[in-house]
Structure 1
Amino acid sequence: MPSHYQNDLFTELSKYYDEFEVIYAHTHDDARKSLGWNFENAHNFNSKTIGRDLTIWKIIPYLFKNRKSTHIVNGIWAESIFFFVIILLNLFQINFLIYSEASNPFKNRSFLKKIILRFVSVSIAKLLIIKAKGVLAISIFASNYFKDLGINDRRIYRFGYFQKEKIHLKLTTKKSCISLLFVGQLIERKGIFTLLEAIEKLFEKYQSFHLSIIGSGILKDNIQHFIKTQNLQNEVELLGVIDSQNVSNYIAQADLLVLPSVFDGWGIVVNEALQNGISVLISDQCGAKELIREGKNGFIFKANNVNDITEKLTNFIELSPHEKLEMMKEIRKMNQNIDIQIVTKYLVACVAHSLNQISIKPTAPWLK
């Protein structure tokens, strides 16, 4: 189920291939559409949605008709219908690649499902992907995951999530404090309390900063209680759910984006921050850490480590004007490497290499 922000990549890919089509597993629900997750908006590539434009029973003849095409499947287990598609691609001996994150260790599963996945999923996954021409691995975590499944490193291509630059005008009014921003679900996996505890420690030494929290989730009441009991009402603000367009505006006005997740397959918000010239503080368990050069365009801290994130926040707060200028230069360098056209060209090269059309394995531009 491709996300709405992948449409930029699909639009660029359609320029390279005469026959290019995106198949969605299903439409987004109303909640996601309200946040801007609507792939049905006008786009410049052909697409179909299973259940609406393409019934399950028509998938078999569809794949057989397109058996000479190369297919890229988003994940192994993410959507049951895509799991079925991978089986068919193997049976029909059709060229395909897998585009996937690593397995989410925090995903809620029943006890029975955990047991089944532990003892069966690895074996099934190996059988399903053994004939894949390649794997587009979302971050080092997915790369290691597929290596553990026995995929040769030559067939693993590092990838991520990328979108077209969405530059927003940054207000030039003089700030009285440093603006920190968190964007994400208020759930345990996002590590929000690691950040809040660091803010509490920082408040003992600094008062010239403010944290805005965008998002909602089951920890909302706990967070409100923490803010109140620690007397941080002036330093921390809960903004709730905001649509994607306005989130982009908040990112553009921030000084530092913080992604403290205990695990995140990637974190597209990191791309958007960098594209708007905003530094990033990210945990070492987020895939998008690959875009951060320690102390140059941001900072990386050990997940769940309050002391480490506090130290990195302190480092950012105490940056001199010259150091901030140098950091901005490094951010611009990274932006050149995650430009959607550069990334698309790299993806096309990955597909060509997987099909033995070129001999030299391409290197991800953001890792050079």
Structure 2
Amino acid sequence: MKIIFFYTYNQSFLSSFFKELSIQLIEGEYDIKIVSLKEKSELLEVAPGLSVQILKKRSKWLNYISIFKLLMSEKPDVVISNFSYVNPAILSGKLLGIKKNIVWFHTVTQALNPSKNQVRIKSIFLKQASEIIVNSESLKGDLEHDYSISKTKIFPIPFWSSLEASHTKSEVFKKKSLIKIGCPGRIEEVKNQQLIIDSLVNVEERISWRLYIAGSGSNEESLRLKVRQLNLEDKVDFLGVLSIDKMKEYYEEIDLIILPSKFEAFGLVLIEALSMGCPVLVSESFGALGYIKDGEFLNKYSFNPHSSVDLSAKLNNVIANKEHSSDYFRNIYTTYFQKEKIIAKVEEVINL
């Protein structure tokens, strides 16, 4: 079965997930080619049997034509697309009679903040997809409610993490004179990093901490200003965007990850942290939490992203009680985000 997979091929964790998924599917005897739009056209051989066809990125309609021509030439049995590739892949597939045209949809409506016209247009294209893969039950509900998509064509499937810990954090917080707190991700208003600052100001005085923020974004200057106003420059470090290798080092060094987003369709950073055995405090808005059925974890380690009081209380409790080692958090990951089961679910959708 020949599959064309449209997504932006780069060094991101999401791209790494799709590349690894493609490699796993090739081992299952699928014929897969990744296609991506960039500034310069080229053909990359990225793994045995897996190539990435880079098409030159042009204007919107010329990109549509490039995608149409590629699909006409390749004659795939299945097309999978996400983000900006969805509309041209769906339209081209319809014109060429490709019956299996799968959309992988990632983003909650709140994050997109679309106009009514944008919702209407996106709804028209999504309804032409044969199936839609989403990352969480909450995103499935989003598509049903906001885009009027039939629930019978929506399939929630989680991600797995491409990271793996090289050693165990033996005793979390034990004999720590300084607690290293991390917050990875884009620095945007919806990512809510300011809540961490407000909460840390109110933690117990006996707790010595330092915050390491990994990422960049449009809200960075505002966040830096808040740090200066609270005289916390010597306690908050802005690390910028880190590579995948540097992110692995980051997770290995950090004692506690805090993820305060106001909303997340899934929240890949959560399962990255869990897979590395990092203790986490996570906003209850993360779609990934819908896959975790461990009541103790959900009660102790999730918080209201609109309440600095709630986060401060959870933070004080986690540091004071020191109940769980890194193995506990890694086991949460391996229990609920098993790669083999995720691959099997993707194959089920492909073969419907």
Amino acid at match of 2:77: S
Aligned residue type for 1:11:
I
Q: How does 1:229-240 map to 2 (within 5 A)?
A: 229-240=229-240
In the alignment, the residues of structure 2 paired with residue 224 and residue 205 of structure 1 have an alpha-carbon distance, to the nearest angstrom, of 23
Contact preservation (8 Å) 2:45, 2:51: no
> % of aligned pairs identical?
20
Q: What is the aligned partner in structure 2 of residue 134 from structure 1?
A: 131
Query: Aligned-pair distance for 1:84?
Result: 1.8
| Comparing 311-320 and 214-223, the one that deviates more | 214-223
Are 2:160 and 2:337, in contact at CA under 8 Å, matched by a contact in 1? yes
Contact 2:185 2:214 in 1 (8 A): yes
2:96 maps to a residue whose letter is: F
Q: Distance in 2 between matches of 1:282 and 1:315?
A: 14
Seen in structure 2, the aligned counterparts of structure 1 residues 267 and 27 have a Cα distance that, compared at 3 Å, is farther
Write the mapping of 1:248-327 to structure 2, written as runs, cut at 5 A: 248-290=248-290, 292=292, 293=294, 295-296=296-297, 299-320=301-322, 323-325=323-325
| Structure 1 residues 27 and 8, CA gap change in structure 2 (3 angstroms) | farther
Greater per-residue strand proportion: 2
Cα offset, 1:242, TM superposition:
2.9
Amino acid aligned to 1:60: F
1:126-205 paired onto structure 2 within 5 Å: 126-148=123-145, 149-169=147-167, 175-202=176-203, 204-205=204-205
Secondary structure of the equivalent of 1:87?
helix
1:1-368 aligned at under 5 Å gives the runs 1-2=7-8, 3-6=14-17, 7-26=19-38, 42-44=46-48, 45-51=50-56, 57-67=65-75, 69-74=77-82, 78-79=83-84, 81-94=85-98, 95-107=100-112, 117-118=115-116, 120-148=117-145, 149-169=147-167, 175-202=176-203, 204-290=204-290, 292=292, 293=294, 295-296=296-297, 299-320=301-322, 323-325=323-325, 328-329=327-328, 331-352=330-351, 355=352
Judging changes above 3 Å, is the alpha-carbon distance between structure 1 residues 207 and 333 closer, same or farther for their aligned structure 2 residues?
A: closer
Unaligned residue ranges in structure 2 (runs of 5+): 1-6, 9-13
The residue type equivalent to 1:135 in the other structure is: I
TM-score, normalised with respect to structure 1? 0.77
Q: Is the contact made by 1:261 and 1:283 (CA closer than 8 Å) also made in structure 2?
A: yes
Q: Which amino acid aligns with 1:164?
A: S
Q: Measured at CA, do residues 224 and 145 of structure 1 come closer, stay the same or move farther in structure 2, by a change above 3 Å? A: closer
Separation in 1, partners of 2:39, 2:244: 18
Residue 23 of structure 1 aligns to a residue in which SS? strand
- Contact 2:179 2:210 (8 Å CA) reproduced: yes
Matched to 1:274, the amino acid is L
Residue 111 of structure 1: aligned partner? none
Q: Distance in 2 between matches of 1:283 and 1:49?
A: 37
Shift of 1:66: 4.7
Q: Offset of 1:195 from its aligned partner?
A: 0.9
* Contact residue 132 and residue 153 of structure 2 kept, 8 A: yes
After TM superposition, the score normalised by the length of structure 2 is 0.80
Counterpart of 1:139 in structure 2: which amino acid?
S
Tell me if structure 1 keeps the 8 A contact 2:182–2:212.
yes
Distance change in 2, residues 1:223/1:62 (3 Å): closer
Q: Report the aligned-residue RMSD.
A: 3.1
Alignment gaps of 5+ in structure 1 = 29-38, 109-113, 356-368
CA distance in 2, matches of 1:27, 1:265: 29
Q: CA shift at 1:50, angstroms?
A: 2.1
Task: Assess if the C-alpha contact under 8 Å between 1:191 and 1:260 holds in 2.
Answer: yes
Aligned equivalents of 2:201 and 2:45: distance in 1? Answer: 42
How far 1:277 sits from its partner (Å)?
0.9
In 2, the alpha carbon distance for the partners of 1:91 and 1:309 equals 52
- For 2:310, give the aligned amino acid: D
Which region of structure 1 is more displaced relative to structure 2, 42-51 or 271-280?
A: 42-51
Q: Match for 2:330: what amino acid?
A: I
Shift of 1:184: 1.8
Q: Partner of 1:60: helix, strand, or coil?
A: helix
Is 42-51 or 252-261 further displaced after alignment? 42-51
